[in-house]
Structure formats: structure tokens, C-alpha cells
């Protein structure tokens, strides 16, 4: 955590964001600026609590995280392609969802954060197991043939227009470079 001394205030600000707008922001600008993918606030909220952050309404934040992880929201809030993600375990490339591979890697990480927070809060297994399971969805992008994480089409085939050059592949986000499960670039 970068600034533990202001963590409580940051978390209180997120509580207010959710109460006032119905979503957690994914970028610190008004109006849910559409410039980030994933539910980045999940890791911020989970990390603060897991590193002994207290004194704010964690239950409201936990509800906000679940809301964002299970619904499509305005602009960058919520999850684009949430229905695909929850049924297929990935958001297909060929359904006009840009940055789909990067999006799935982020969604899986965010689900892991929600699972860890739910576990720390003593939430029932029946409630948090879905996040544990979905946190493994990044495996759905691993192409054994190339050794890289790649976007998939709705039919389960890997997208063929992949490029290892950042910003040249619609399935990757800005600056994302495909990587292998072994950690090699």
C-alpha cells in the first residue's frame, strides 16, 4: 500500500462514490471516465482491508464490488461482456468488445481480490466460491500452441490477428504485451 496513512479516507471516498452514483469509479475523474478496463477498485478495497485498514464501511464496499463484478455499468464502471464472462469464462473477441484479452486478465484478478476480501470478512462459501472459480478464468486465454495469452472468439477458437507489438492487437490493452504462463515474454 502506497499511502497507508490516508487509506481510511480513500476507502470512505469510495463508499461515498458508490452511495452517490451506484458504482465504484475505475479512474479518478468525474463521470465514470471510460479509460480503464476491469474493476480496478476491487484490488484497492481488498488490499486496504487485508492490510488492516479499518474504520470505514467495508460491508458497503464489499456489496459495491459484487455489484460491479456482476453487472454492466455506465462507461468504465461494471463489466463489459459480463454475460459472456459468466457463461463462457471469457469475453469473446468477435463480439465487438475491445481489449477482450486484457479485460479477462483484469476480471480474473479482480475476482481473486473479491474472493480474498469475502473470505476475510467471513462470507459464506456459497457466496464467495463463484469469485474463486472465476479468478481462474485467465487459464481460458492460454494458447498452448503459441505459449501466449490470447483472445478467443465466441466459438472457442483463438483470435488469429494477434500481434506481439503493443497496441497492434485489439484484444490487448494499451501497453499490454502477450506473455506466457511460464513468465517469458
Domain boundaries in the chain? 4-90+103-140
DSSP 89-128: SS--GGGS-TTHHHHHHHHHHHHHHHHHHHHHTT--HHHH
The packing angle between helices 7-21 and 41-50, to 10°, is 140
Range 81-88, long-range pairs (CB < 8 A, 24+ positions): 84/154, 85/134, 85/137, 86/134, 88/140, 88/154
Beta strands 142-143 and 148-149 are: antiparallel
CA distance 152 to 162: 11
Tell me the three cell numbers of residue 66: 459484487
For residue 110, the Cα-to-chain-centroid distance in whole angstroms is 4
In tens digits, what is the pLDDT along the chain, a chain of 185 residues?
Answer: 777 778 899 999 999 999 999 999 877 666 666 667 878 899 999 999 999 889 999 999 999 999 999 999 887 788 999 999 999 999 999 998 888 899 999 999 999 999 999 999 999 999 999 999 999 999 999 999 989 999 999 999 998 876 555 544 455 554 444 444 444 43
Residue 89: CB atoms within 10 A of its CB come to: 19
3-state secondary structure of 152: strand
CA distance 146 to 178: 10
pTM here is: 0.86
Beta strands in the chain (DSSP E): 142-143, 148-149
Was domain 4-90+103-140 assigned CATH 1.20.1050.60?
A: yes
Q: Does residue 39 contact residue 81 with C-beta atoms inside 8 Å?
A: no
In terms of Cβ atoms closer than 10 Å to its own Cβ (0-12, 13-18, 19+), residue 184 is exposed
Amino acid at each position: 500500500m502506497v499511502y497507508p496513512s490516508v487509506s481510511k479516507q480513500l476507502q470512505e471516498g469510495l463508499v461515498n462514490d458508490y452511495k452517490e452514483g451506484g458504482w465504484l469509479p475505475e479512474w479518478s475523474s468525474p463521470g465514470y471516465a471510460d479509460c480503464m478496463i476491469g474493476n480496478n477498485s476491487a484490488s484497492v478495497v481488498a488490499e486496504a482491508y487485508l492490510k488492516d485498514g479499518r474504520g470505514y464501511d467495508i460491508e458497503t464496499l464489499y456489496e459495491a464490488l459484487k455489484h460491479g463484478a456482476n453487472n454492466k455499468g455506465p462507461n468504465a464502471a461494471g463489466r463489459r461482456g459480463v454475460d459472456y464472462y459468466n457463461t463462457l469464462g471469457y469475453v469473446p473477441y468477435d463480439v465487438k468488445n475491445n481489449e477482450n484479452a486484457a479485460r479477462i486478465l483484469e476480471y480474473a484478478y479482480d475476482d481473486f481480490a473479491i474472493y480474498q476480501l469475502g473470505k476475510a470478512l467471513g462470507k459464506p462459501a456459497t457466496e464467495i466460491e463463484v469469485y474463486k472459480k472465476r479468478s481462474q478464468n485467465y487459464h481460458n486465454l492460454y494458447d498452448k500452441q503459441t505459449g501466449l495469452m490470447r483472445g478467443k472468439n465466441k466459438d472457442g477458437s483463438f483470435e488469429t490477428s494477434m500481434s506481439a507489438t503493443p497496441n497492434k492487437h485489439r484484444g490487448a490493452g494499451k501497453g499490454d504485451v502477450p506473455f506466457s504462463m511460464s513468465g517469458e515474454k
